[in-house]
Amino acid sequence: MDPQIDWLLENEYLASIVYVSVAILTLIVFLSIFELVARYRCWHEIKRGNMSVAMATGGKIFGICNIFRFSISIHSSIYEQLIWAAFGFLILLIAYFLFEFMTPIFKIDEELVNDNRAVGFIAMIISISLSYVIGATILI
């Protein structure tokens, strides 16, 4: 679509740098969006040593990057990768809200802030697991 970017992608070394750079920038944007919708401040909690929030955030990072991995492995364009990354992030975000909704006994965000590691671990596993399912749909 863009001759300058397409030219960069013809060289496998430059393509690698472009793919990683786009993934990192997109990851930063998606994590910033998550920070806006969460009822706690991820990086503040992580700085305090909150392992539950670290696990939940780590799961989201892994999930987003895993979706990129699937997209890159099928050699789709950088533009398709961005579309799949946004789609995957949206599903992960919906899963976050569903997880909160499906556990009426307690509030996920409150449990994470209180460093409930069982909740942090489940949140991490949900993000990682869904990233594999989302990634599998990219290969269709």
Which ranges of 1-140 would DSSP assign to H, the alpha helix?
3-10, 12-37, 42-47, 51-73, 78-102, 108-113, 117-138
Write the pLDDT tens digit of every residue in 121-139: 999 999 999 999 998 988 6
Question: Using CA atoms, how far apart are residues 101 and 99, in angstroms rounded to an integer?
Answer: 5
* Domain ranges for the chain: 3-138
Query: Across the chain, what does the average pLDDT equal?
Result: 88
Share of the chain above pLDDT 70, in %: 92
What's the whole-number mean pLDDT along residues 40-53? 95
* 79 vs 28, higher pLDDT: 28
> Tell me, what's the pLDDT at 1?
57
What's the whole-number mean pLDDT along residues 108-117? 94
> Tell me, what's the pLDDT at 3?
67
Write the pLDDT tens digit of every residue in 51-86: 999 999 999 999 999 998 988 888 667 888 888 888
> Tell me, what's the pLDDT at 4?
66
C-alpha neighbours within 13 Å on the C-beta side of residue 139: 11
Chain position carrying tokens 């269709």:
140
Question: Using CA atoms, how far apart are residues 32 and 45, in angstroms rounded to an integer?
Answer: 15
Cβ-based neighbour number of residue 29 at 10 Å: 14
**At a CB cut-off of 8 Å and minimum separation 6, what does 53 contact?**
40, 42, 45, 46, 112, 113, 115, 120
Backbone angles phi, psi at 23, to 5 degrees: -60, -45
pLDDT band at 37 (very low <50, low <70, confident <90, very high): confident
